[in-house]
Amino acid sequence: MPINIFSFFSGAGFLDLGFELTNLYKVVYVNEFHRPFNHIYRFARANMGIEEPIYGHFIGDVAQVMETENIKAFKRLMSQSKAENLTGIIGGPPCPDFSVAGKNRGQHGENGKLSGTYVSIICQSKPDFFLFENVKGLYRTAKHRAFFETLKEQLSNAGYYLTDQLINSIEYGAPQDRERIILIGISKPLAGKLKIKSQKEFELKFNWESGKKYSRDVLTKPWPAQSAYSEKSITVMPDDVIEDLTVQYWWNKNNVLAHPNANMYFQPRAGITRFTSLDEGDVSKKCYKRLHRWRYSPTAAYGHNEVHIHPYLPRRISVAEALAIQSLPASFVIPNDVSLSDAFKTIGNGVPYLAAKGIAETIYKFFKENGYQD
């Protein structure tokens, strides 16, 4: 029987999809504040034949969940789910307030406060396990790390054993250099059933490497650097690159030119000079970055601060191409009635699908190796 998942800050559902498409988990509850993102979530999953969550969608601020009557109702749902099956909460609170490239306001920013609210929901509702995802700035920046440690202390006091790691999406086979801090916790009652008696024992037994496909050392390989831009050019893949970590591999794999989202991309507002002047592979600029077809992408972020340009066409990359860089199945489709801004924002915000899937498999393998019977 699949493990039940309550999802918060779901966005378009990349993290959820990574769990569900293992066939080991079932999303039963979804929270998202921004209605267009939830519309994408529902449309894409319906298109893939995935059932609606049995406890439905809550469209609203997570702070509303903590209101007296709402938290009582949520705790009842959690108790019902736990009585039927192993149950976890997963989510990645919005991260601009902890991002070096973002607002950097920390725990006091509007988005920063949501991390505290998410942890409070976990502590109040007491799932069997949880996953917390955020940007590396929460882990590496001193003032934000102090807040992260406070959150961990709160979770520990609420009865959870914890383990965390700064992962890179490329380790799981996604074609991008994108670091994220992942914090996983299991409740002490569940730990007892799994014969785990201490925080240290949990940290030792949780094998973060089991779901990874590559070492992050692949980033230091001699990847192609830059080459002169040539429109509609055809080049041969160099012998020494890892093909399935390249942008072009994923675009071919997902047949992006025939994808329903192939023609969804921003048109240049004033001329195309900047779309023809950058070399292929020049990602040195703060804003405009031209991807290299035979290399991984720097990230999948795509917004006001960073624009990804097609390697050999004079335009920005399309929604279909951005989805492929997020390692999503070709069957994931964004409806054409959402704005380009909403489409690209939710793609950039999402956890790369293969990273989500690898982490989901790692959690399940940990449960099985320590005596969990499904």
What is the rounded CA–CA span in Å between residue 150 and residue 21?
33
User: From the candidates 62, 86, 90, 95, which is the catalytic residue?
Assistant: 95
Q: Do the beta carbons of residue 103 and residue 138 sit within 8 Å?
A: no
The single-letter code of the amino acid at 124 is Q
Q: How many residues can be counted in the chain?
A: 374
Q: Rg of the Cα trace of the chain?
A: 21
Q: What is the residue whose two structure tokens read 């969550």?
A: 53
β partners of residue 183: 132, 164
- 95 catalytic, yes or no? yes
* Cα(114)–Cα(112) distance, integer angstroms: 5
Question: DSSP H helical segments within 48-187, as ranges?
Answer: 62-65, 68-84, 112-125, 137-140, 142-157
| Burial (CB count within 10 angstroms: exposed 0-12, middle 13-18, buried 19+), residue 234 | exposed
CB distance 23 to 2 below 8 Å: yes
317 contacts 326 by C-beta, under 8 angstroms: no
Cα–Cα dist 38/187, whole Å? 30
28 φ, ψ to 5°? Answer: -115, -10
Contact 295, 247 (CB under 8 A): yes
Give the neighbor-by-neighbor strand order of the sheet with 179-187.
57-59, 25-32, 3-8, 87-91, 129-135, 179-187, 160-168
- Strand, helix or coil at 26? strand
Measured CA to CA, the distance from residue 152 to residue 368 in angstroms comes to 25
CB-count burial class (<10 Å; 0-12, 13-18, 19+) for 288: middle
Amino acid present at 313: L
What span, in angstroms and rounded, lies between the C-alpha atoms of 215 and 209? 9
Residues marked active site are found at 95
